[in-house]
Structure formats: C-alpha cells, structure tokens
C-alpha cells in the first residue's frame, strides 16, 4: 500500500487545526455557562417578570392602572425615597472622603486605629443597625439623654428622630464605612510623589483633596457612590424599623405592605419598577465603567 501524499497530509492537518480552534471556544463557554445561568435565573428573570406583571390587571390584561394607582397613593413616598437616598449618599460620600483622606495622609497611631475600626459597621446587618438606632434615637434614648446632660435640649421635649433625619443619619452610619473601604483603596493607589509635589508648591490639605486625591480617584468614588445609592434605595429593614407605618415612608416598605396586607402584586410590581427607574442611570454608568475597565485590563 502506498503512503499518503504530502498534499493529503497537509489537508488533514488543516482540518484538525480548524476543529481544534472551534473546540477552543467550547471550554471557556462551558465555564461561563453556570455563572450566566445563575445570573439569568436569580436576577434577569425576576426583573423581567416584575416589569411585565406591573402592566397586568387582575384579569390578566395589559393596563397602566397599577402605575396610576401607585402615583395616586405613593407619589409622596417616591419623592421621600429619592430624598433619603440622595441625602444619605451625599453625606456618606463627604464623610468617607474625609475619613479616607485622614487615613491615607496620616501616619499617626490614631489614624491606624481608625483604619481598623471604621470597617466594623460593614459587617453589621441592617436589622441590627435598625435596632441599635431605635435605641439610640428614641425620644428618651441615648442621644437625647446625652444632649440633655449637656443642656442642649430639654428631655421633656426631646428630638423626634424617627423620621427623615434619623433615617438619613442611620444610613450614613451604615454606608459611610462601606464607601470608605472602596475610596480608601483608590487613594492608596495614588503615588506619594503626586501628593508631595502638591505640597511642595504650597497646596493645603483641602487643595490636596480637591486637586490630587479626588480627581485621580474619580472612577473609584463614582463606583462607591453608585453602590451606596442603589443599596439605600433597595433597603427595607432599616426604614421599616425606624418609620414603620408612618407616612411618608420608603418604597420598599410600601411594597411589603401592598403585598402583605392587600395581596396587590400589580401595584407592588409597579412600585418596584419605579425603584428600578431611580437607580437606572447609576446602573448604566456602573455597567459602562465595568465594561471599559474590563477592556482596558484586557
């Protein structure tokens, strides 16, 4: 029997090479499949189902009645939820940037201790924070008693903080350490040479923050703000424990009440869609940032 010709051998090698290139894509896709399926089942499908059901009436027909009812009953709560999220995120950002600057620029023992202690609230669940704040902010709680001892207030007419102010304070206490963890990581990546160069030309601490640290960590700060804002909008436990059935309240509490007491999933889903719209722009920015970062690293 005669051997294979060189042309036939080269042809078979080319076919095997093409087959190997096609199979090379199968293995990465197989690795991505479980994670992708999990994301679709746990996040994409509930999101799509919630949006679709917000347009369904009790008889299964498409309608805008759920949104009309949500507007009539809960428009004030929509504004309240947005106000809480914006104020909490704003004050948390200011506090976290200040704390990150102190830990980044100071080498004192107090700064190192602060760098360890600020992480503790991150690991405390919202339900525990809610119970702590109910004790701390109560009319005869720790805060009012302390202020009365300083003769700042009269304990017979204490501060009433189971409202917007108390809710914002509670969110700042919880979210600021989380934002500090992210922002401080960005500050730590800045070379000391930039800071020393700014100081050498007479920059004070405020100018170091606004001209060096913040501009060079702008993307990191934006991500921290986005994550804190979306987390605040979607939190149920803390507003429920501090405000409860009072009005106005947050959309998450309204959704729970609508389902628990009325079994009205249509309006509840409509309120959920309004919550999605609140975080839509921030989510788009975060996704664009993640994609750009992935492309840059690749």
Please give the chain's pLDDT, 298 residues, in tens. Answer: 445 455 445 555 555 556 556 666 777 777 788 888 888 888 889 889 999 999 998 888 899 999 999 999 999 999 999 999 999 999 999 999 999 999 999 888 888 888 888 888 999 999 999 999 999 999 888 999 999 999 888 888 898 889 999 999 999 999 999 999 999 999 999 999 999 999 999 889 899 999 999 999 988 999 899 999 999 999 999 999 998 778 899 999 999 999 999 989 999 999 999 999 998 878 787 777 777 766 666 5
pTM: 0.84
pLDDT at site 12: 56
pLDDT score for 21: 62
Q: Give me the half-sphere count of Cα atoms (radius 13 Å) on the Cβ side of residue 102.
A: 16
Angle in degrees, 0-180, between the axes of helices 65-105 and 265-297, rounded to the nearest 10:
40
The answer to whether 174 and 124 have CB atoms below 8 angstroms apart is yes
Q: What local confidence, expressed as pLDDT, does residue 275 receive?
A: 92
Instruction: Express the helix, strand and coil content of the chain in percent, nearest 5 each.
Output: 80, 0, 20
Residue 192, both tokens: 């000391």
Residues 225/242, Cβ–Cβ less than 8 Å: no
Q: Cα(86)–Cα(95) distance, rounded to whole angstroms? A: 14
| Residue partners of 168: CB distance under 8 A and separation at least 6 | 84, 87, 88, 91
By the 8 A CB rule, do 95 and 172 touch?
yes
291, 76 in Cβ contact below 8 A? Answer: no
């Amino acid at each position: 029997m005669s051997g294979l010709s060189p042309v036939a051998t080269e042809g078979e090698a080319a076919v095997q090479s093409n087959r190997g290139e096609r199979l090379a894509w199968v293995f990465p896709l197989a690795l991505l499949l479980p994670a992708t399926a999990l994301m679709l089942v746990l996040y994409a499908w509930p999101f799509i189902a919630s949006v679709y059901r917000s347009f369904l009436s009790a008889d299964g027909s498409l309608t805008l009645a759920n949104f009309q009812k949500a507007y009539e009953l809960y428009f004030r709560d929509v504004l309240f939820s947005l106000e809480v999220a914006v104020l909490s995120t704003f004050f948390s950002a200011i506090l976290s940037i200040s704390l990150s600057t102190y830990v980044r620029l100071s080498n004192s023992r107090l700064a190192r201790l602060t760098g360890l202690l600020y992480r503790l609230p991150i690991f405390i669940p919202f339900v525990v924070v809610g119970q702590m704040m109910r004790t701390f902010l109560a009319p005869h709680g720790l805060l009012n008693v302390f202020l009365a001892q300083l003769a700042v207030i009269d304990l017979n007419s204490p501060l009433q903080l189971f409202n917007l102010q108390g809710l914002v304070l509670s969110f700042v206490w919880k979210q600021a350490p989380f934002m500090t963890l992210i922002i401080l990581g960005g500050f730590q990546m800045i070379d000391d040479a930039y800071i020393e160069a700014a100081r050498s030309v007479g920059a004070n601490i405020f100018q170091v923050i606004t001209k060096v640290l913040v501009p060079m960590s702008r993307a990191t700060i934006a991500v921290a703000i986005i994550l804190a804002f979306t987390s605040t909008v979607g939190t149920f436990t803390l507003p429920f424990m501090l405000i409860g059935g009072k009005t106005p309240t947050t959309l998450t509490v309204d959704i729970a009440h609508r389902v628990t007491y009325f079994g009205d999933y249509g309006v509840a889903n409509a309120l959920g869609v309004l919550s999605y719209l609140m975080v839509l722009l921030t989510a788009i920015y975060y996704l664009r940032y993640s994609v750009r970062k992935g492309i840059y690293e690749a």
